[in-house]
Amino acid sequence: MNTRREFIKKMGACSTSLMLPGILFPFTSFYGNRGTSNWVTTEINTGKIRGIRNDGVSVFIGIPYAGKVSGNRRFRKPGVMSAWTGIRDTYELEAPAIQGPRRGEPTPAEDCLFLNVWTPANDGKKRPVMFYSHGGGFVIGSGGSAGQDGSNLARNFDVVVVETNHRLGMLGFMYLDEVAGSEYVGSGNMGLLDIVEGLKWVHENIHVFGGDPNNVMIFGESGGGAKTSCLYAMPDAAPYFNKASIESGPGVRMLTKDMAAQNTEYVLQEFGLTNKTWRKLLDIPTDEILKVQAKVPFTPPYQGKSTNQKAADPTPVGFGPVVDGIALPYHPFDPIAPDISKDKPLMVGWNEDEFTFFMWERRDTEFPTLDFDGLKVRLESQFGEDTPKIIETYRDSLPNASPADIYIAVSSITMIGLGSVEIAQRKLEQGGAPVYLYNFGYKSEVKIPGTDYAMGTPHAMDISFKFNNEIPPKEGEPDRPSFFGGGRPERFQASHNMAALWTSFAKNGRPLVKELPEWPAYSLSNKATMRIDAQCEIIKNRYAKELEMWTEIGRLNE
């Protein structure tokens, strides 16, 4: 029987060729219309910078936060940041990490350590800081995707928003500790350590943007959720944040050293190198690196408990964070929640229909026509002899659901939901700060192309909602339906609700909003879930029958 890790790995592998930036986040750049904006200048610890003030928000785009990571710094911690004289313009996006071209963004580059800041004002106030790590697994994405523009959060909820570019793929997660010597310790987690450098930058500089360095929330979606899971467990990150939210990317477990070494062995063989000649990796052009990287599977946000794949399967497992015992000492939430963040509140959750995104991405137009025999065939490839019990449980819990509905429900909860529940359980068992569990449930009417099946609440749809980027048009302007969110006006309220809950958590460590139901912390007595929609509701012990079944067959807490 395949493990959940293998299931997600399969989905990731088949998705990689389709997960292009312009598809995943189909938006243009967002740094504003300079013709109707005013310049704003401030000074950080490396020099003066000039951004744009537009419609009540000051925006600084493309600020360097750490030094060189190319040449002899490849696979190592960044070089020292150099100060500059004069005023540096920071109102246009800078290079994202090495990957394929991104719509509306500069050409990706190896030296990619830039961040973006949105603030209501550079006025010395102490606003909460919301520090976001982008999605795209561990191989694509940037802090410059327009769906995650922080302007509305800053303007409407009086917070400061920060997003980084950081190393990805082979350049961010190539484990060389065992072949390259002491200078390369932590090499398997350079992408995470870049984010830590961004957090350090916030600690030293955010006060000049009206932010409070002692009230920082880290959050992220999909791969960004997995990165947030890791940061929650990293000693280097611990001093620089106070709370976290893990969204559709439950990083319960990450790659082991054996799995990461397997990737390294594969890469060296592909380039005709050995452990003794590894240093030639420093001179290989990035386009050649991308060619080899494309042969490696897409790493899912978390791994199953199988920790030694090498004997049974010599193929690489994909690039992602490594439990190296140093930068990432342990699996983030296995077997327990990280003690280092015991006193830091946590939110965790997922979208109700995560898997419709992957059906859209794979151009699967057949699943809506499934009958129950076809459903059994599809699920058997993942769940084997447990398939009849799974179908029976879901038919009982969802008596009006079609086979396609059950397929989406099963795939969504096994891909993302079970890991999210596992994190909530582990955090609760720790007995420290509270944990809050959510489901995002606003239903989009947008159909999967080639079908009459609605997207519902797909993976990644929450991004524009929690950033409050689903807002009514200005007077005299037409309403433009969003790519996933659709065109129903109810989406504006759902977006407001989600953004209000997230910013409340950023401010106080409690996601409480006056006009919404009181969201209790997750506990054994209530197992409370906030269902986020245009009308929010608290659901106690949600998915009780399903979770009992997943536990019985060993898929929850596997």
Rg (the chain; Cα; Å): 22
> Is the model's pLDDT at 25 over the cut of 50?
no
> Is the model's pLDDT at 35 over the cut of 90?
no
pLDDT at 29 (0 to 100): 42
- Cβ neighbours, 10 Å, residue 69: 25
Query: In the chain, where are the structural domains located?
Result: 4-254+327-341, 346-552
Q: Are strands 243-247 and 346-351 parallel, antiparallel or unpaired?
A: parallel
Both tokens assigned to 257:
């050293």
H or E element that contains 9:
helix 4-15
CA distances in angstroms from 556 to 17, 151, 254, 300, 398, listed in the order given: 30, 38, 17, 17, 20
pLDDT at 292 (0 to 100): 97
Both tokens assigned to 168:
């990805």
* Residue found under tokens 């898929």: 555
Helix residue ranges, H only, 128-285: 151-157, 169-173, 177-180, 190-205, 223-231, 257-270
Rounded Cα gap, residues 329 and 30, in angstroms: 37
pLDDT at 302 (0 to 100): 72
Residues 369-406: tens digit of each pLDDT: 999 999 999 999 999 999 999 999 999 999 999 999 99
Mean pLDDT of 73-77: 97
> Is the model's pLDDT at 36 over the cut of 70?
no
Residues 232-284: tens digit of each pLDDT: 999 999 999 999 999 999 999 999 999 999 999 999 999 999 999 999 999 99
pLDDT at 32 (0 to 100): 43
Both tokens assigned to 221:
């979606």
Rounded Cα gap, residues 211 and 7, in angstroms: 42
Q: Report yes or no: 346 and 433 within 8 Å, Cβ to Cβ.
A: yes
| Chain Cα centroid distance, residue 144 | 14
pLDDT at 480 (0 to 100): 87
pLDDT at 558 (0 to 100): 62
Question: Which residues, 6 or more positions from 239, have their beta carbon under 8 angstroms from its beta carbon?
Answer: 203
Report which of 166, 200, 328 is spatially closest to residue 254, judged by C-alpha positions: 328
pLDDT at 305 (0 to 100): 67
DSSP label at 123?
A: S
> Is the model's pLDDT at 11 over the cut of 90?
no
> Is the model's pLDDT at 3 over the cut of 70?
no
Judge whether 4-254+327-341 and 346-552 match in fold: yes
For the chain, percent of residues with pLDDT exceeding 70: 91
Mean pLDDT of 151-175: 98
Helix residue ranges, H only, 413-540: 418-430, 462-466, 490-508
Q: Report yes or no: 296 and 263 within 8 Å, Cβ to Cβ.
A: yes
pTM of the full structure: 0.94
Q: What single string gives the DSSP state of each residue in 313-359? A: --S------B--SSSS-S-TTSSS--GGGTTS-EEEEEETTHHHHHH
Rounded Cα gap, residues 322 and 260, in angstroms: 7
Report which of 96, 32, 87 is spatially closest to residue 59, judged by C-alpha positions: 32
| Chain Cα centroid distance, residue 307 | 23
Mean pLDDT of 531-556: 97
> Is the model's pLDDT at 306 over the cut of 90?
no
Q: Report yes or no: 173 and 74 within 8 Å, Cβ to Cβ.
A: no
CATH 1.20.810.10 fits 346-552, yes or no: no
pLDDT at 432 (0 to 100): 97
Rounded Cα gap, residues 541 and 547, in angstroms: 9
pLDDT at 240 (0 to 100): 98
Q: Which fold has domain 4-254+327-341?
A: Rossmann fold (3.40.50)
pLDDT at 5 (0 to 100): 45
Question: Which residues, 6 or more positions from 108, have their beta carbon under 8 angstroms from its beta carbon?
Answer: 95, 96, 97, 98, 99, 100, 101, 102
Most distant CA atoms of the chain, gap in Å = 70
Q: What mean pLDDT value characterizes the chain?
A: 92
Burial of 87 (0-12, 13-18, 19+ CB in 10 A): middle
pLDDT at 313 (0 to 100): 60
Residues 84-102: tens digit of each pLDDT: 999 999 999 999 999 999 9
Question: Which residues, 6 or more positions from 478, have their beta carbon under 8 angstroms from its beta carbon?
Answer: none
> Is the model's pLDDT at 155 over the cut of 60?
yes
Confidence of residue 28 (pLDDT cuts 50, 70, 90): very low
Amino acid letter, 22: G
Both tokens assigned to 109:
């580059």
Mean pLDDT of 431-449: 97
Confidence of residue 298 (pLDDT cuts 50, 70, 90): confident
User: Can you give the length of the chain in residues?
Assistant: 558
pLDDT at 146 (0 to 100): 84
Pick the most confident of 4-8, 24-28, 157-161.
157-161
Rounded Cα gap, residues 136 and 228, in angstroms: 13
> Is the model's pLDDT at 493 over the cut of 70?
yes
Mean pLDDT of 123-131: 97
Strands (E), 46-195: 47-54, 57-64, 87-89, 114-119, 127-133, 160-164
> Is the model's pLDDT at 182 over the cut of 70?
yes
> Is the model's pLDDT at 321 over the cut of 80?
yes
Q: Is the dihedral of CA 264, 106, 485, 531 positive or negative?
A: positive
Q: Report yes or no: 275 and 113 within 8 Å, Cβ to Cβ.
A: no
pLDDT at 12 (0 to 100): 46
pLDDT at 482 (0 to 100): 87
Q: Are strands 57-64 and 87-89 parallel, antiparallel or unpaired?
A: unpaired
> Is the model's pLDDT at 14 over the cut of 50?
no
Mean pLDDT is lowest, of 145-149, 363-367, 515-519, for 145-149
Question: Which residues, 6 or more positions from 335, have their beta carbon under 8 angstroms from its beta carbon?
Answer: none
More confident residue, 305 or 129: 129
* Residue found under tokens 């009459």: 452
Q: Report yes or no: 148 and 163 within 8 Å, Cβ to Cβ.
A: yes
Question: Which residues, 6 or more positions from 57, have their beta carbon under 8 angstroms from its beta carbon?
Answer: 118, 119, 120, 151, 154, 155
Q: How far apart are the first and last CA of the chain?
A: 13
pLDDT at 8 (0 to 100): 45
Residues 330-339: tens digit of each pLDDT: 999 999 999 9
More confident residue, 5 or 410: 410
